[in-house]
Amino acid sequence: MGEEIRWEPRALTLDRLSWEEFRDYLADGTDLALIPVGSTEQHGPNGSFAVDAGRAEIFARKLAERLYPKAFSVPVFSYGVSPHHLHFPGTLSLRPETFMMLLRDVIDSLYQHGVRKYFIINGHGGNAPALTLTLGELKRDYPDIKAGWASFTALGLDAVRDQVTSRVYGHACEIEMSQAMYLAPWTVKEARSAGAVCASTNKGPGAFPIHWAQGFEEMTENGALGDARNARWDWGRDMVELALDRLTEELENL
For residues 205 and 219, is the Cβ–Cβ distance under 8 A? no
Residue 39 C-beta: closest distance to Zn ion, Å: 7
Query: Which of 19-27, 45-53, 83-91, 230-238 is the region at the interface with Zn ion (rule: CB under 5 A)?
Result: 45-53
Residue 125 C-beta: closest distance to Zn ion, Å: 8
Instruction: State which residue has the least CB distance to Zn ion.
Output: 52
Query: Which of 10-18, 44-52, 178-186, 218-226 is the region at the interface with Zn ion (rule: CB under 5 A)?
Result: 44-52
Size of the site for Zn ion (CB under 5 A): 2
Residue 63 C-beta: closest distance to Zn ion, Å: 19
Query: Which of 19-27, 43-51, 185-193, 196-204 is the region at the interface with Zn ion (rule: CB under 5 A)?
Result: 43-51
Query: Which residue's CB is nearer to Zn ion, number 51 or number 63?
Result: 51
Alpha-carbon dihedral angle through residues 149, 155, 156, 161, given to the nearest 10 degrees? 130
Query: Which residue's CB is nearer to Zn ion, number 51 or number 130?
Result: 51
User: Is residue 56 packed enough to be buried (19+ CB in 10 Å), middle (13-18) or exposed (0-12)?
Assistant: buried
Query: Which residue's CB is nearer to Zn ion, number 30 or number 46?
Result: 46
Residue 181 C-beta: closest distance to Zn ion, Å: 13
Query: Which residue's CB is nearer to Zn ion, number 52 or number 57?
Result: 52
Alpha carbons 75 and 128: distance in angstroms, whole number: 19
Residue 128 C-beta: closest distance to Zn ion, Å: 12
Query: Which residue's CB is nearer to Zn ion, number 50 or number 138?
Result: 50
Alpha carbons 36 and 119: distance in angstroms, whole number: 9
**Beta strand pairing call for 12-13 and 32-37:** unpaired
Query: Which residue's CB is nearer to Zn ion, number 52 or number 65?
Result: 52
Alpha carbons 249 and 254: distance in angstroms, whole number: 9
Residue 207 C-beta: closest distance to Zn ion, Å: 27
**Interface with Zn ion in residues 46-75 (CB under 5 A):** 51-52
For residues 227 and 173, is the Cβ–Cβ distance under 8 A? yes
Which residues contact Zn ion by CB under 5 A? 51-52
